[in-house]
């Protein structure tokens, strides 16, 4: 596999492409941060299921999309060339609260709502609508 400069961007693009092709599931290379994002998406109801497959050097994450729901609009905000950090006061609701933003904070990866409750800012990874 070639070296990726933006593994999270690749992860979001694979999900976007699988949904555009009307697939019910997709496979993405494993990393701890991707696994945490998937767990968050399952908890929030954006994904039906996520599971880790394979052995340690060649692990993958299998994502199962929710049936009957329109495709997610996934947007990468913070990029390797331009990181986007937000303070709690700068954190705006995505799609008037119907969407969600994913942040990485000093307390781990969390949604924008959870970050506001805990009064934490951090790097704004992506938005989902």
Residue 113 corresponds to which tokens in the numbers above?
Answer: 């709502």
- CATH assignment of 7-65? 3.30.1370.30
Every domain of the chain and the residues it spans: 7-65, 74-128
Strand partners, 61: 28, 52
- CATH assignment of 74-128? 3.30.1490.10
Selection from 104, 96, 50, 39 nearest residue 77 by Cα: 104
Answering whether pTM is above 0.85, one says yes
Strand partners, 79: 82
Give the pLDDT of the chain (129 residues) as one tens digit per residue. 567 899 999 999 999 999 999 999 999 999 999 999 999 999 999 999 999 999 988 999 999 999 999 999 999 999 999 999 999 999 999 999 899 999 999 999 999 999 999 999 999 999 999
């Amino acid at each position: 596999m070639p070296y990726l400069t933006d593994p999270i961007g690749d992860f979001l693009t694979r999900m976007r492409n699988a949904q555009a092709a009307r697939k019910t599931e997709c496979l993405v290379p494993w990393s701890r941060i991707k696994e945490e994002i998937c767990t968050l998406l399952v908890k929030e109801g954006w994904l039906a299921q996520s599971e880790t497959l394979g052995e340690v050097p060649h692990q993958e994450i299998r994502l199962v999309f929710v049936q009957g729901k329109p495709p997610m609009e996934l947007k990468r905000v913070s990029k390797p060339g331009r990181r986007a950090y937000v303070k709690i006061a700068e954190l705006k609701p995505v799609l008037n609260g119907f969407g969600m933003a994913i942040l990485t904070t000093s307390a781990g990866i969390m949604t924008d709502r959870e970050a506001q409750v805990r009064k934490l800012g951090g790097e704004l990874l992506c938005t989902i609508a």
